[in-house]
C-alpha cells in the first residue's frame, strides 16, 4: 500500500507560535490526523513495559507494544526473579525487528533483572552471581538489538553507602570494556531500604569511579525521583537544573514515566497510574514534552487496573495512558474505560 507523506509549511504563521514551536492546540490536531491514519509521526517516543514469553518471545513483545499505540517498548530478557534464560536463538529477534520496522516501532529498552545487586559486600557469593549475570544480560541486550539496558545500581544491605558504591563501581568496571556497544543506564532510585542511587550525587559518584563511563547513562524514573525527595511538582525546572549540574541532562537515555502513590520524599516506591497520583498529569505531561528530551524514549511502568469483580484479573492501562499523553488531556475515566474495554 502506498503511503502519502505530508509536509507542513507555515506560510500564514498559524501553525507555529511566536517561539517557533507547534502550539498545543495544533499538536492535538496533528495527533488526531495521525490516529486516523492520515500521517505518521515521530514527535513523541513513547511506550511501556511489555511481556516477553511464550512462542513469540520478542516478536510477541513487539505485537503487544503495537496494540498499545507505542513506538518504543521495554522488556526483560527473561524472568526478572531468576537467572533462567532461553538462548537468544529462540527469542525471534529477527522476526521482531522486521515487525517493528513495518509498524513504526523504533527502539527496544532492556531492563536488567532485580536480582542483580552489585552493591552487596556482605555476601561475596551473591555479588559474584550478580556480576556474572550482569555481563550475560548486557551481551543479550546487544544481541537483541537494544542500545540501552536499565540497571538498578544496587543496595548496600547494611554495609553503608560508601562500601556499596565502591562495590558497584568494581562490578561495572569488570563488565564494561572499550568494545561494549550497549549503554548501562543507572536508574534513579527512591532510597527505600539501603538502595543506592537515591540522589543524583550517588549516581555521579558511580560515574566518577567507572573507567569506561562513556558507556554509562541514566534512566530518570519520575516516581523514584519524587519519592526520593526532589519536588517535581513545584520545582520541575530546578530539579533538572540540579541534575544537569551534578550529572548532565545529556546523560539521560530513557525516562520511566510513572505517577506516585506517595508524597514527595516518602522513599517508598509505589507507582500510580498517570494523573492519579501525587505527581499529577500536568507535571508528567510537561516532562514528556520537554523539547530537550524529545528524542528520548518515555516508558510507562504504571500498575495494571484491577477488575472490581474478580481479584484474580487485572488489565494493562498502557493503550489508554499513551493515548492520553498524546492528546495532552487527562482522562478522569481512564481506569473505568480500561476495564470496560476488556
Domain segments of the chain as ranges? 47-340
Burial letters for 189-200: b for 16+ Cβ neighbours within 10 Å, e otherwise? bbbbebbbbbbb
Alpha helices (H) in 36-160, listed in sequence order: 58-67, 93-102, 124-143
HSE, CB side, 13 Å, CA atoms: give it for residue 117.
Answer: 18
In this model, does residue 303 exceed pLDDT 70?
yes
Query: Which pLDDT does position 19 carry in this prediction?
Result: 57
pLDDT, tens digit, for every residue of 207-221? 999 999 999 999 999
Instruction: Report the run of H or E that residue 167 belongs to, with start and end.
Output: helix 161-175
Mean pLDDT to the nearest integer, 74-95: 94
pLDDT digit string, tens, across residues 92-141: 999 999 999 999 999 999 999 989 999 999 999 999 999 999 999 999 99
Q: Residue 336 in contact with residue 148, Cβ under 8 Å?
A: no
CATH 3.90.79.10 fits 47-340, yes or no: no
3-state helix, strand, coil in the chain (%, to 5): 40, 15, 45
pTM of the model: 0.88
Amino acid at each position: 500500500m502506498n503511503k502519502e507523506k505530508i509536509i507542513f509549511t507555515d506560510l500564514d504563521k498559524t501553525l507555529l507560535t511566536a517561539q517557533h514551536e507547534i502550539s498545543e492546540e495544533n499538536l492535538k490536531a496533528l495527533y488526531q490526523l495521525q490516529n486516523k491514519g492520515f500521517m505518521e509521526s515521530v514527535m513523541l517516543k513513547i511506550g511501556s513495559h511489555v511481556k516477553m514469553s511464550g512462542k513469540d518471545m520478542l516478536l510477541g513483545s513487539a505485537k503487544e507494544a503495537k496494540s498499545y499505540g507505542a513506538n518504543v517498548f521495554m522488556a526483560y530478557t527473561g524472568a526478572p526473579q531468576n537467572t533462567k534464560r532461553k538462548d537468544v536463538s529462540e527469542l525471534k529477534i529477527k522476526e521482531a525487528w522486521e515487525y517493528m520496522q513495518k509498524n513504526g516501532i523504533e527502539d527496544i529498552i532492556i531492563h536488567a533483572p532485580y536480582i542483580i545487586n552489585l552493591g552487596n559486600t556482605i555476601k561475596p557469593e551473591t555479588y559474584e552471581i550478580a556480576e556474572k549475570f550482569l555481563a550475560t544480560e548486557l551481551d543479550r541486550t546487544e544481541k537483541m538489538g537494544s542500545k540501552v539496558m536499565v540497571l538498578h545500581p544496587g543496595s548496600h544491605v547494611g554495609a553503608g553507602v560508601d562500601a556499596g558504591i565502591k562495590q558497584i563501581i568494581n562490578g561495572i568496571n569488570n563488565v564494561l570494556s572499550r568494545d561494549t556497544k550497549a549503554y548501562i543506564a543507572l536508574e534513579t532510585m527512591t532510597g527505600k531500604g539501603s538502595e543506592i542511587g537515591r540522589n543524583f550525587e550517588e549516581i555521579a559518584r558511580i560515574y566518577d569511579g567507572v573507567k569506561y563511563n562513556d558507556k554509562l547513562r541514566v534512566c530518570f524514573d519520575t516516581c523514584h525521583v519524587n519519592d526520593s525527595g526532589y519536588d517535581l511538582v513545584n520545582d520541575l525546572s530546578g530539579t533538572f537544573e540540579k541534575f544537569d549540574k551534578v550529572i548532565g541532562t545529556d546523560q539521560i537515555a530513557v525516562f520511566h514515566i510513572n505517577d506516585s502513590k506517595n508524597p514527595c520524599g516518602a522513599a517508598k516506591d509505589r507507582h500510580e497510574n498517570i494523573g492519579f497520583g501525587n505527581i499529577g498529569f500536568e507535571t508528567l505531561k510537561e516532562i514528556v514534552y520537554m523539547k530537550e528530551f524529545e528524542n528520548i524514549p518515555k516508558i510507562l511502568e504504571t500498575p495494571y487496573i484491577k477488575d472490581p469483580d474478580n481479584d484474580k484479573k487485572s488489565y494493562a492501562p498502557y493503550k489508554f495512558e499513551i493515548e492520553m499523553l498524546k492528546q495532552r488531556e487527562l482522562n478522569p475515566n481512564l481506569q473505568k474505560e480500561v476495564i470496560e474495554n476488556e
